[in-house]
Chain A
C-alpha cells in the first residue's frame, strides 16, 4: 500500500508541565475522511496546530506527501497543500464574504480576475452564493463556519483539517453541510475532521482516531471504536464500560 498523504509519527507537545499531546500517531490517506474524536481537553486542537505548523512539536515527526515537514511555518505548509479551519472562527471581520475567500484564492492565483472567479465558485460550492457581497461580521454562526470552510478550500488543498465545523449548527444546517464535506473527499482531498457530532462522524468518516489525555487510545472504523471499551471509558469515566456492558446484558 502506498504511503498515506499525511502521517503523524509519535508526536508530543508539552506546555510547561502539561503533556497536551503524548506520542500520538495517526495517518490520513487521500480521498478519505478521517475523524479525530475525543473528550474535551484531549489535545485534538493542539495536534491540529502541530500538523498545520502553528505549534512546533516537542518530539516526533510529521510527514506529508513523502517529506518530513515537522516544524515548518504555517504559510509554507499551506503552500504545500495543507489547509485548516479554526475551531473558534477567525473571519476577516471587516471584509466582505467574497474578499475573505479571495485571500485564500490568491494563494494559487496571483491574478485578481482568476482569484475572484475561484472565490465565487468556492463560495457557491459551500452555499454562500447569496451572501458573497455581505460583510463577514453579519453572518450567522452557520454562515461563519461555511466561510471558514470556503477560505480553506479556496487555497485548493490536498489535506483539509476541519476543526469542529459542525459544532453550534442545528440539525438542518448539519444536513446541508455534510454532503459538501463528502464531495471534497470524493474529489480526492484528504479530510481530517475533529468532531463532537457523533452522528456526523458515524456517517462521514471511514477511519476514526480517538485521542484521550493526549494519547491515541483507539482507532478503526466508526463501529469498531464505538464498541471499544477504552473509548467508552474515556468519555464516560473509569468503569463505565462494564456498567454499560452489563446494562445491555440485563
Chain B
C-alpha cells in the first residue's frame, strides 16, 4: 500500500497548487508540463518497464489528437466521446505498429528506427490529406462549456490533466505488482531467459505497446482540447517523440514518478532559458541534449534512481550493518 500512498500524496500536493497560485502563466506552464509527463509516462510503460525504446510515440500522440479533432469538426461528435475515441484510435495504432514491428522480431535500434519511420509517414500523410486539414491544420470551435470538454478556467484544465496523469501513475504502480508487469520487466532484462520461463514475449511486448499508446494518445487528445488547434507538425512532429522519451529517461526509466520529475526538470530548464536569453529557436533542444548527457553520465537510472541511491546510502550510514552474507560479493 505504501506505493499507492506516495502517489496519493504527490497528486494531492499538485492538486493544491491552484488554491495558492492564480497566475495563468504558471498554470499554463504546469498544464503543459503535466501533459508532457503523461506522454512520457506512456513511453515509460513500453521503454522503461519493457526496454523497447520507441522513437516514434508521436504516432500515438498525433492519432489521439487528430481523431479527437476530426470527430468533433467533421462529424459533430461530442468532445468527450471524441476524447475516448481518440484514445481507442491510439490503442489501435499501437496494436498495428507493435504487431508489425514485434512480429518482425525487431529489437533495440531497429525497433526505434521503425517506430520513427511510422511517425514520419503519418506526419507526411497528415500534412497532405484533406481530412486532417492538410498543411493548414484543424481549428476546434471555441465552446467554453464542460460538455464540450472546454473550460473557462485554466485551473480546471490543470486538474483534468493531473487526474489523467494520476491514473497513468496508478497504472504503472499496478503494472509493477502484476504478473504482466513482472513478465514485461523480464523481457527487458533478458528476452531469451523470459521465453524459457514461459513468457510469451510477443504478447507481452504487444500488450505493453497498446497500453503505452493509450496513455500517450490521451495526452494528444488533451492537447487538442486545451489548445483547440492541431497540425501535422504538432501532432506527428518529432518534438513530441523526443519529449516523450526524454522526460522518463531524465526522471528515471521504469519508475512511477520518473516521467513527472523529468517533465518538471526539462520544462523548467526550457522556460528558464527562454526567460534569460529571449526566444532563441532550438535553444530548448540544446538544453535537453546537455541535460540528457549529464544524466546518462552521472545518473544512468535517472533522477529518481539517483535519489533512491542517495537515500539508500544515508540509510546505510545510520542503520546497523547487516549480518555478513556467506558468499563474497562480486562486481
Contact = CB atoms under 8 A, between A and B. Distances in A.
Interface in B159-190: 177-179, 182-183, 185-186, 189-190
Nearest to A140: B327
Interface stretch (A6-14, A95-103, A196-204): A95-103
Interface string A80-110: 0001101000111111000100111011001
B325 A104 contact: no
B254 to A, nearest CB: 9
Contacts of A99: 182, 185
Contacts of A112: 177-179
Contacts of A90: 190, 192-193, 196
Contact of A91 (B183, B185, B193, B201): B193
Contact of B190 (A84, A91, A110, A152): A91
Interface residues of B, number: 26
Contact of A92 (B186, B200, B331): B186
A126 interface: no
A84 B196 contact: yes
Contacts of B197: 78, 83, 103-104, 107, 151-152, 154-155
B105 interface: no
A232 interface: no
Nearest to A143: B327
A5 B53 CA distance: 42
A115 B331 contact: no
B136 interface: no
Given A84-B196, A130-B325, A155-B198, A138 B330 contact: yes
Nearest to B189: A92
Contacts of A83: 196-197
Contacts of A79: 198
B19 interface: no
B194 interface: yes
Interface of A: 52, 54, 73-75, 78-79, 83-84, 86, 90-95, 99, 102-104, 106-107, 110, 112, 115, 130-131, 134, 137-140, 142-143, 151-152, 154-155
24 contacts: A54-B192, A73-B195, A75-B199, A79-B198, A86-B196, A90-B190, A90-B192, A90-B196, A92-B185, A92-B189, A93-B189, A95-B185, A95-B186, A103-B186, A104-B198, A106-B182, A106-B183, A112-B177, A112-B178, A112-B179, A130-B325, A138-B329, A140-B330, A151-B197
The 8 A-B pairs with the shortest beta carbon distances in the complex, nearest first, are A78-B198, A92-B189, A107-B198, A90-B193, A103-B186, A74-B195, A104-B197, A106-B179
Interface of B: 177-179, 182-183, 185-186, 189-190, 192-201, 325-331
